Amino acid sequence: MHLRRLSVCMLLLAAGAAWGLDPIRVANEGGIKNAWMLAPGAKLAAPAYPPQFATRGLDVCVSIGYLINADGSTSDFALLDGWNSETGTREPEAGFWAAFAQASGAALQQWRFQARPEIARPTPVYTVATLLFGKAGATVSPELRQRCKIANLPEHLAAIRADPGKRRQIDVHLFDRMQLNRDDFE
């Protein structure tokens, strides 16, 4: 199974190279620190709780995949995982996950990075952020983060890639450029 996944990923990398596109490194949450840092004056904007679900007062966490582009901007946001205190991973109501993903994407779109000074040629990297939403005025429990944290992003993305029902979450061309076959992620 691992060799099959490796072969598929190598084929996809070759396809990306044939189109003249550089492969995209995939890094676990926090794994970008050797190549990227926050741009001067930039802040990690927090997402707003979607107003249409605020009266429910649920604790919610989401893991949002995103691309850090060579210029330090962010794009290609995708909901990779989610949990809520009412129904767990199931969507409690139509549009719930989309609303939290949209709020998260709006916050992530404000994040700005810059390559570390020792990086001569910054290259895009696909990573993930775990974002938390809680009841207004309440402290969000530290355990909430663990419900959505993705420990191994390349493996998680490979599983999404293999599932036709989930595959549409991420642009297929972006998938084709991701280095999902490496085992040395931080």
What mean pLDDT is predicted for residues 7-20? 40
C-alpha span between 172 and 175 (Å, rounded)? 5
pTM here is: 0.82
> The CATH number of the domain where 56 resides is what?
3.30.2420.10
Please report, for residues 35, 164, 183, the alpha-carbon distance to residue 61 in angstroms, rounded to integers and kept in the order given: 27, 24, 27
Q: pLDDT tens for residues 77-97?
A: 999 999 999 999 999 999 999
- The model's pLDDT over 131-158, given as tens digits with 9 standing for 90+, comes to 999 876 667 777 899 999 999 999 999 8
Residue 186 maps to a domain: no
How far apart are alpha carbons 44 and 15 in whole angstroms?
A: 34
Range of the domain at 91: 2-177
Domain membership of residue 10 (yes or no) is yes
Residue 144 lies in a domain: yes
Bridge partners, 68 (sequence order): 74, 125
Is the residue at 116 inside a domain?
A: yes
Given a contact cutoff of 8 angstroms between Cβ atoms, the answer to whether 72 and 114 are in contact is yes
Q: For residues 184 and 124, which has the higher predicted lDDT (pLDDT)?
A: 124
Domain count, the chain: 1
Please state which of the ranges 2-11, 49-58, 100-109, 138-147 shows the lowest mean pLDDT: 2-11
Q: Are 16 and 117 in contact (CB under 8 A)?
A: no
182 domain-assigned: no
Mean pLDDT of the 1-26 span = 49
